[in-house]
Amino acid sequence: QAGKVDGGVLNASVWQKLVDAGKVDTSKVKVFATTPTYFDYNWTVRGNMDPALKDKIKKAFLELDPANPEHKAILDLQAASRFIETKPENYVGTEQAAREAGLLK
């Protein structure tokens, strides 16, 4: 909004936080394009992690309930309403875009 650049890119949740905090003058800065929804912010553990610990961590994430104030505080830190289990197929589009951009070979 200071006029230093013609355009920029940022995460939608970051944009919304800036707007909500009054740090963006929306009369000067406009959103002209957004990406389709995609899976992001996945939580990954090392492949050789003890399966019992892996299951315990997964269970803890999947059982977070926004109706519970302690859980809501955790979810709010990630601007999330819940966590879901994912699978490799959810990232095919992201991988394809990265390959097209030359970020993966």
The answer to whether residue 12 scores a pLDDT higher than 80 is yes
- The helix (run of H) or strand (run of E) holding residue 54 is helix 51-62
The answer to whether residue 81 scores a pLDDT higher than 90 is yes
- Please give the Cα distance from 99 to 93 (Å, whole number): 10
What does the pLDDT read at residue 52? 98
What does the pLDDT read at residue 105? 84
Residue 32: which residues within 8 A CB-CB, separation 6 or more? 7
Find the length of the chain. Answer: 105
Residue 73 sits at φ, ψ, to 5 deg, of -60, -40
Q: How confident is the model at residue 42 (pLDDT cuts 50, 70, 90)?
A: confident
Q: Domain segments of the chain: what residues?
A: 1-34, 42-100
- Please give the Cα distance from 36 to 71 (Å, whole number): 28
What does the pLDDT read at residue 1? 74
